Chain A
Amino acid sequence: MNENHVYDMIIVGGGPGGYTSALYAARAGFDTIVLEKLSAGGQMSLTWQIDNYPGFENGIDGFSLAEKMQKQAEKFGAKSEYAEVFNMDLTGKLKRVETSSGIYIGKTVVIATGANPRELGLAKEKELIGHGVAYCASCDGMFYKDKIVVVVGGGNSAVSDAVLLSRIAKKVIIVHRRDTLRATKIYHDQLMKTENIEFRWNNTVNELIYGERLTGVRLKDTVTGEENIIECDGLFVSIGRKPTTDFLDNQIELDNKGYIVAGENTETSIPGVYAVGDVRTKLLRQIVTAVADGAMAVHMAEEYVEK
Chain B
Amino acid sequence: MTSININKEKFGQLIHKEKPVLVDFWAPWCGYCRRIGAAYEKISEEYSDILIAGKVNIDEEPQIAEAEKIEIIPTLVLYRDGKAIDSIVAPESKIMIENFINEALEKIKGGLLYE
The B interface, classified by DSSP as helix, strand, loop or mixed, is helix
Does A142 interact with chain B (Cβ within 8 Å)? yes
A37 lies within 8 A of B93 (CB): yes
The A interface, classified by DSSP as helix, strand, loop or mixed, is loop
Contact mask A20-58 → B, CB, 8 Å, 1/0?
000000000000000001110100011110000000000
- Could you tell me the distance between the alpha carbons of A138 and B34 in the complex, rounded to whole angstroms? 13
B9-42 contacts to A, CB under 8 A, are 27, 29-32, 34-39, 42
A96-135 contacts to B, CB under 8 A, are 100-101, 129-131
Does A140 interact with chain B (Cβ within 8 Å)? yes
B38 lies within 8 A of A39 (CB): yes
What is the CB-to-nearest-CB distance from B68 to chain A, in angstroms, rounded to a whole number? 14
What is the CB-to-nearest-CB distance from A104 to chain B, in angstroms, rounded to a whole number? 15
- In the complex, which residues of chain A have a beta carbon less than 8 angstroms from the beta carbon of B30? 139, 142
Contact mask B75-110 → A, CB, 8 Å, 1/0?
000000000000001111111100000000000000
- In the complex, which residues of chain B have a beta carbon less than 8 angstroms from the beta carbon of A63? 31, 34-35
B36 lies within 8 A of A38 (CB): yes
Q: Which of B27, B71, B72, B92 contacts A38 (CB 8 A)?
A: B92
Q: Which of A47, A100, A142, A213 contacts B93 (CB 8 A)?
A: A100
Does A136 interact with chain B (Cβ within 8 Å)? yes
Contact mask B60-82 → A, CB, 8 Å, 1/0?
00000000000110000000000
- Could you tell me the distance between the alpha carbons of A41 and B90 in the complex, rounded to whole angstroms? 16
Does A210 interact with chain B (Cβ within 8 Å)? no
A82 lies within 8 A of B32 (CB): no
A186-228 contacts to B, CB under 8 A, are 213
What is the CB-to-nearest-CB distance from B35 to chain A, in angstroms, rounded to a whole number? 4
What is the CB-to-nearest-CB distance from B40 to chain A, in angstroms, rounded to a whole number? 10
- In the complex, which residues of chain B have a beta carbon less than 8 angstroms from the beta carbon of A47? 31
Q: Which of A37, A45, A83, A136 contacts B34 (CB 8 A)?
A: A45
B31 lies within 8 A of A38 (CB): no
A140 lies within 8 A of B92 (CB): no
B89 lies within 8 A of A39 (CB): no
- Could you tell me the distance between the alpha carbons of A136 and B32 in the complex, rounded to whole angstroms? 9
Does A304 interact with chain B (Cβ within 8 Å)? no
What is the CB-to-nearest-CB distance from B102 to chain A, in angstroms, rounded to a whole number? 12
A45 lies within 8 A of B89 (CB): no
- In the complex, which residues of chain B have a beta carbon less than 8 angstroms from the beta carbon of A38? 35-36, 39, 91-94
A34-93 contacts to B, CB under 8 A, are 37-39, 41, 45-48, 63, 82-84
Contact mask A269-282 → B, CB, 8 Å, 1/0?
00000000000000
> Closest residue of chain A to B93, judged by CB?
A37
A130 lies within 8 A of B90 (CB): yes
A82 lies within 8 A of B94 (CB): yes
- In the complex, which residues of chain B have a beta carbon less than 8 angstroms from the beta carbon of A100? 93-95
Q: A38-B93, A84-B93, A84-B95 are in contact. Are A48 and B39 (CB under 8 A)?
A: no
- In the complex, which residues of chain A have a beta carbon less than 8 angstroms from the beta carbon of B35? 38-39, 41, 45-46, 63
- Could you tell me the distance between the alpha carbons of A38 and B93 in the complex, rounded to whole angstroms? 5
Q: A38-B35, A39-B35, A45-B31 are in contact. Are A130 and B93 (CB under 8 A)?
A: no
> Closest residue of chain A to B75, judged by CB?
A130
Q: Which of A82, A84, A130 contacts B42 (CB 8 A)?
A: A82
- In the complex, which residues of chain B have a beta carbon less than 8 angstroms from the beta carbon of A138? 31
B72 lies within 8 A of A140 (CB): yes
B89 lies within 8 A of A130 (CB): yes
A39 lies within 8 A of B31 (CB): no
Known: A38-B39, A100-B94, A136-B32. 14 other contacts (CB 8 A): A37-B93, A38-B93, A38-B94, A39-B39, A45-B31, A46-B35, A63-B35, A82-B93, A82-B94, A100-B95, A131-B72, A138-B31, A142-B30, A143-B71
Closest 3 CB pairs of A and B: A130-B72, A37-B93, A100-B95
